[in-house]
Amino acid sequence: MAVRSSKPKLRKPHPKRQSFEGTPIGDLLVGGRVWVEKDGRTYLAWGRVALLERIEQCGSISAAARSMGISYRHAWLLVEQTNALAPAPLVVAQKGGKKGGGASLTQEGKQAVQGFWRLVEKFKAFLRDVSEDAQLIAFFSPQGPSLLNR
C-alpha cells in the first residue's frame, strides 16, 4: 500500500511558460507570467520569443523547431500568427532550392525580442515591489489586515 504525502504536489513550471515570483512574505507569494496580446490574441510570449531567438541562432524555422522539441508545423504556425499580428514581419523565410532555404529575424523582429525581455525585467521588478508592500500583502493573508497590527 502506498503512503500519500500530506504535502501537495507542486506543478513543474511549463518550460515554455515561464512564471516569475516575488519575495515570499510568510506563506504568501505573489507571482505571474507576462505576455503581449493584440486583438485578444497572443502576440509575444516566452515561448514565441524563444522561438524567434532560435530562428536567429539556427538560421531556419525547422532547425529552430528541432532545437526546441516542437514540430515544424507548430513553429511555422507560431511564426505566421506572430507576423500577422506585428506591424511589420518579424521573421522572413526564404524558400529552399539548390542553396537551401532559411529564415532570419527582421530588424523589427530583433527589436521585438529585445523589447519583450525589457518587459520581463520590468515585470520582475514589479513583482519585487509588490512583494515588499506589506500593507498590500496583508490583505491577502488569512488573518487579513490585522497582520499589520502585530
Classify domain 36-149 by CATH number. 1.10.10.10
Mean pLDDT of 25-50: 87
3-state helix, strand, coil in the chain (%, to 5): 45, 15, 40
Q: What DSSP state is assigned to residue 25? A: B
| Of 119, 82, 87, 117, nearest in space to 103 by CA | 82
Kindly indicate the confidence band of residue 144, based on its pLDDT and cuts at 50, 70 and 90: low
Residue 141 and residue 28 in contact, taking contact as beta carbons nearer than 8 Å? yes
Residue 34 and residue 27 in contact, taking contact as beta carbons nearer than 8 Å? no
Mean pLDDT of 61-70: 94
Of the two residues 24 and 5, the one the predictor is more confident about is 24
Domain range summary for the chain, segments of one domain joined by + = 36-149
Kindly indicate the confidence band of residue 1, based on its pLDDT and cuts at 50, 70 and 90: very low
Give the span between the Cα atoms of 51 and 81, in whole angstroms. Answer: 13
